[in-house]
Amino acid sequence: MAKTYDYLFKLLLIGDSGVGKTSILFRFSEDAFNISFISTIGIDFKIRTIDLDGKKVKLQIWDTAGQERFRTITTAYYRGSMGIMLVYDVTNEKSFENIKNWIRNIEENASADVEKMILGNKCDLEAKRQVSKERGEQLAVEYQIKFIETSAKDSLNVESAFYTLARDIKAKMEKKQEASNPAGARSGGGHQLRANEQQRKPTSWLSRCSLL
């Protein structure tokens, strides 16, 4: 059967236990009387189809199931992944400090050119905050990684974070293609990217969290 998409990106959610990785992937909330079968078992991964500058992009987004507790995430787990969301909890200092350890883990185990992004999650919990947005930004600058604060609870910035990561992976791939095939690739790239930027992901960028 013909392939019906342009790109397929495997993405991982990484970070300390409790920062909200599962919540970023799984939004269901339940009442006391009925238990959702799905929430009992839990989600392993999701497939999402997005449009990036006229290209059909499939995202396969994986949760980390428990391995994070022992930091046993190794080469096998990272295999084939093209993007990693590094998640910390803005109400948990330790989870923020551990981002550096996670980055080291990625450098040791994942492919060298894997695209990364840092998420400061639970930004709805302003009263409990331990990590300022500025410190998140500083860390991101230090590692030259993109950064955004999110709230899985309020669905704030989560979707746009995945768009951003996916767009960066796509840009990197197109750059590579261009390098290996200079004449062919030129027509696509640059200006198209900008043309679509505006109609893309709207309101969530202007959320509470990113304005703080």
Binding region for Mg ion (CB under 5 A): 22
Interacting residues with another protein between 39 and 98 (CB under 8 A):
39-49, 58, 60, 65
Taking CB under 8 A as the criterion, the residue among 27, 94, 100, 176 binding another protein is 27
Question: Which segment (26-34, 100-108, 109-117, 193-201) binds another protein by CB under 8 A?
Answer: 26-34
Taking CB under 8 A as the criterion, the residue among 4, 187, 199, 203 binding another protein is 4
Residues that bind ligand GDP (CB under 6 A): 17-23, 121-122, 124-125, 151-153
Q: Cα–Cα distance between 129 and 92 in angstroms, integer?
A: 8
Structure tokens at 164: 């951003």
Closer residue to ligand GDP, CB minimum distance, 39 or 196: 39
Considering the rule CB under 8 A, would residue 112 count as an interface residue with another protein?
Answer: no
Residue least distant from ligand GDP (Cβ): 20
Considering the rule CB under 8 A, would residue 109 count as an interface residue with another protein?
Answer: no
Structure tokens at 31: 């009442």
34 binds, among another protein, ligand GDP, Mg ion, none (CB under 5 to 8 A by kind): another protein
CB of 14 vs ligand GDP, minimal distance in Å: 9
Q: For residue 131, count other CB atoms closer than 10 A to its CB.
A: 23
Closer residue to another protein, CB minimum distance, 44 or 134: 44
185 binds, among Mg ion, ligand GDP, another protein, none (CB under 5 to 8 A by kind): none
Task: List the one residue out of 50, 8, 40, 46 whose CA is nearest residue 25.
Answer: 46
23 binds, among Mg ion, ligand GDP, another protein, none (CB under 5 to 8 A by kind): ligand GDP
Contact at 8 Å (CB) between 199 and 114?
no
Q: Give me the half-sphere count of Cα atoms (radius 13 Å) on the Cβ side of residue 170.
A: 24
Closer residue to another protein, CB minimum distance, 32 or 183: 32
Contact at 8 Å (CB) between 81 and 114?
yes
Q: Cα–Cα distance between 83 and 212 in angstroms, integer?
A: 27
Considering the rule CB under 8 A, would residue 195 count as an interface residue with another protein?
Answer: no
Q: Cα–Cα distance between 147 and 99 in angstroms, integer?
A: 12
Task: List the one residue out of 133, 130, 120, 129 whose CA is nearest residue 211.
Answer: 133
C-alpha pair distances (Å), 65 with each of 2, 20, 24, 191, 194: 33, 12, 13, 40, 37
